[in-house]
Amino acid sequence: MAFSRSVFSLALLSAVLSPAALADGPSLPPGLGGPSLPPGLGDKEAEVTVKEEVSEPAFNITGFIEARAGARLQNAQGYDDWTLGEIRGQLALDGMTDAMTWRVTADAVLDPVLEEYGTDLGRGEGVLDLREAWALFRPSDNMDLKLGRQILTWGTGDLLFINDLFPKDWNAFFIGRDVEYLKAPSDALKLSWYGAKASIDLVVTPQFDPDRSIDGRVLTYFNPMMGETNTIPAAMPIRSENGPEMSARLYGQSGSMEWALYFYNGYWKSPTGFDVIDMEATYPELAVYGASIRLPILGGIGNAEVGYYDSRDEKSGADPFTPNSQWRFLVGFEREIVPNLTGAVQYYVEKTEDYDAYLGALIPGAPKVDEYRQILTLRVTQQMMNQNLTLSGFNFYSPTDEDGYLRLNAAYKVTDALRLEAGGNIFYGESSASFFGQFEDNTNLYVAIRRSF
Amino acid sequence: MTQNIRKMTIAMAAILTTATSAWAMDVEEIVAKANEVSYYQGDDGRAKVNMTITDDQGRERTRAFVILRKDNEPGAGSGEQKFYVFFSRPADVNKTAFLVWKHMDKDDDRWLYLPGLDLVKRIAASDKRSSFVGSNFFYEDVSGRNPDLDTHALVQEDDNYYVLESTPKDKAGVEFASYKSWIHKATFLPIKIDYINDAGEVYRTYEALNVEEVGGYMTVTASKMTDVKAGSSTSMTYSDVAYDMGLEDDIFSERYLRNPPRNLLR
């Protein structure tokens, strides 16, 4: 009985609430009796979106114009206070034909700090910085061929690179250009083959593209030959290498885990060698064999990567002017800590082979690297105001070198097109000769304004 | 008096009809159908999407992207799916591509391709109820929420709608205490969803604003998500919608993250 009564009262309630039961009464206003039907359902015709018959443009144009300036927070003997000052306009054109897709991205740059106005496309200096100029062909259904100037990236590290030996622009990175300028372009051919279980990328760079490393023109560094911090803002003499580079990657996915094997044959990307006769830095020969995995784990993303750096000009480890072979290893983890706040940590270790021979041959006064050089990185990214304000910090800290590098950045999108940015590059260390410590006098702050179109 | 009795009779009849149809249309079946028509129309699909995000001060921001979708089990109307999203606007994210492999029993796999760095970044997907590209829509609103995560009750029914109240089985990781959906009877499209907080207030509302038939499928081509508390809203329109295009599986792979399938994105 109790049961039937409750059924009855429930039914009565639903009858009261049901507009159908109130055929004589007023219809409930929208919001009480449920939403009114949208156009397309019920009486109202759908607002049919008519496909616009516009002819496809031959190409798309996008780009930006920006002003960016940065200065040292301390004096660096022999150097100007300004580390960055430029007006940069970028134009990116891309298009598609039946045979290929293509893109050209070029920057026009006015840089009164570097004061290099003769265009050097290889170094990305001068009034024209050609970032991309490539065509992508599809020779068969499971192959892509990308030819020309292109940005190339692979590997799993976050601002730590083991198997990605494509050129980097460390100068741009340290003075506070947009992070995408860390990647310098390669003039290369990239052939990709795609299989069901695994895929292959093969990249051939006919002429070695070194890193755009710190050469002393704008940023000061420790000169191991002089045994002191450089005080003359001039480019160090470096012997260029014109031989080819070859990079390969075999990769695939097993469930949610990505795996890859890597190979590189070419040169050390920064001038780590030295020719005592010609008194110039050199790029010794290098081969790298590596592997990586990346997978979702513990509510975040975990990755591990290893590489063996085979310094092919150095057989015994006893040549002080050629780097020894190394094992490099990193493991990383990233996850969202609370909504809009992401944290990431990495541990990196670099083991020098033939360490006793290295120690025995070390030039007195030259900076000494530990057998197991280690770096810890921490990244924190906070997004606020509907993702229009992004605060980020990235810290490199080496317990073995007792030095580090803190990158800070705040970027605010005033509108979809207008972005304001401020940041800092803070170098610190016990020794003025260690990897990050040598850049201490380059610690800088920068600001930027960018209008995209 | 007679009038009253007549009313009562009509009411009783209505009750019986309601009750019968409620029994005939099991709540789980309604939820399954609503999920199917919202996220699993056809075996695959494509749409051009324009979003306008309006903040509490009336300032607008826009997003434009093409979304491609493919179901892992064609015809099942549920289960795992893959999504490919290619952005054209705003200019600073032009050519950014986003890939999602949606799973039922574990976190989705997500990748983001940043063209300026040629970087394929993997993204942790634990935050399904966070803003999608700065809009009022969450990731889960775009790719669908697994109906099994909530318990559903049919609380009301009228000529047009089944009204459902859904409560999360696990409160961790969701910001709502419950949500109430108005499911259109003839099409099973959710026309309105009110998200309700612990205080019993509606703080977030979804509305379907326009419905079109495309390729035999009733499709919501305009919708709006309002953050009642923040005073901001996002309207989303779909155009150039297509279904059953025969999209290949490898579209949803690293190959096409790096080299977008241009002919499908025009």
pTM beyond 0.80: the answer is yes
- Interface test with chain B among A41, A105, A146, A418, by most B beta carbons within 10 Å: A41
Contact between B111 and B254 under an 8 Å Cβ cutoff? The reply is yes
Angstrom CA distances, A68 to A132, A413, A450, B93, stand at 22, 16, 8, 20
Which H/E stretch holds residue A149? strand A143-150
- Interface test with chain A among B37, B119, B165, by most A beta carbons within 10 Å: B119
Q: Examine the pLDDT at A303 and tell me if it is beyond 70.
A: yes
Stretch A303-323: mean pLDDT: 93
Query: Which range, of A111-120, A133-142, A235-244, averages the lowest pLDDT?
Result: A111-120
- Residue labelled with tokens 């660096």: A76
Task: Give B 25-84 residues with CB within 8 A of chain A.
Answer: 53, 55, 59, 61-62
Domains of chain A: 61-452 (2.40.160.100)
Q: Residue B185 and residue A57: Cα distance in Å, rounded?
A: 44
How many interchain CB pairs under 8 A, A with B? 195
pLDDT of residue A51: 59
| CA atoms A380, A385, A386, A388: torsion sign | negative
Q: What share of chain A is helix, strand, coil (3-state, %, to 5)?
A: 10, 50, 40
Q: Which residue has the higher pLDDT, A224 or A33?
A: A224
For residue B1, give how far its alpha carbon lies from the nearest alpha carbon of chain A (Å).
16
Nearest to A106 by CA among A170, A172, A62: A62
Q: Residue B80 and residue B118: Cα distance in Å, rounded?
A: 28
Residue type, A237: P
Nearest to B142 by CA among B249, B47, B29: B47
Q: Residue A407 and residue B68: Cα distance in Å, rounded?
A: 37
Name the residue in chain B with its Cα closest to that of A42.
B160
Indicate the domain borders of chain B: 2-265
Query: Distance between alpha carbon A136 and the CA centroid of its chain, in Å?
Result: 22
Q: Which residues contact B127 (CB under 8 A, 6 or more apart)?
A: A336, A339, B139
Whether residue A210 has a cis bond before it, omega within 30° of 0: no
Q: Which CATH architecture has domain B2-265?
A: Clam (2.50)
Q: Residue B107 and residue A301: Cα distance in Å, rounded?
A: 11
Confidence band (pLDDT; 50, 70, 90) for A31? very low
Cβ–Cβ contact B172 with A under 8 A:
no
Cβ–Cβ contact B105 with A under 8 A:
no
pLDDT of residue B43: 95
- Interface test with chain B among A7, A16, A22, A49, by most B beta carbons within 10 Å: A49
Question: ipTM, 2 decimals?
Answer: 0.89
Query: Which range, of A47-51, A172-176, A280-284, B167-171, averages the lowest pLDDT?
Result: A47-51
Residue type, B8: M
Cβ–Cβ contact B133 with A under 8 A:
yes
pLDDT of residue B22: 45
Nearest to B191 by CA among A38, A74, A29: A38
- Residue labelled with tokens 């100037």: A149
- Return the structure tokens found at B253: 């792979």
Alpha helix (H) ranges present in A129-216?
A: 170-175
Cβ–Cβ contact B125 with A under 8 A:
yes
Kindly report, residue by residue over B176-234, the tens digit of the pLDDT.
Answer: 999 999 999 999 999 999 999 999 999 999 999 999 999 999 999 999 999 999 999 99
Stretch A38-52: mean pLDDT: 75
| A327 strand-pairing partners | A308, A351
Query: Which range, of A39-53, A276-290, A322-336, averages the lowest pLDDT?
Result: A39-53
Q: Which residue has the higher pLDDT, B127 or A163?
A: A163
Cβ pair B212:A416 closer than 8 A: no
Contacts of B124 in chain A (CB under 8 A): 296, 299-301, 334-336, 342
Nearest to A422 by CA among A445, A394, A405, A441: A445
Cβ–Cβ contact A59 with B under 8 A:
no
Query: Beta-carbon neighbour count of residue A285 at 10 Å?
Result: 18
Kindly report, residue by residue over B16-66, the tens digit of the pLDDT.
Answer: 444 444 455 799 999 999 999 999 999 999 999 999 999 999 999 999 999
Cβ pair B53:A386 closer than 8 A: yes
Query: Which range, of A37-41, A240-244, A392-396, B254-258, averages the lowest pLDDT?
Result: A37-41
In this complex, the residue of B131, B159, B263 whose CB is nearest that of residue A20 is B159
Stretch A153-174: mean pLDDT: 97
Stretch A434-442: mean pLDDT: 95
pLDDT of residue B266: 78
Q: Examine the pLDDT at B122 and tell me if it is beyond 60.
A: yes
Q: Examine the pLDDT at A324 and tell me if it is beyond 90.
A: yes
pLDDT of residue A20: 40
For residue A7, give how far its alpha carbon lies from the nearest alpha carbon of chain B (Å).
10
Contacts of B130 in chain A (CB under 8 A): 336, 339-340
Kindly report, residue by residue over A233-250, the tens digit of the pLDDT.
Answer: 888 889 999 999 999 999
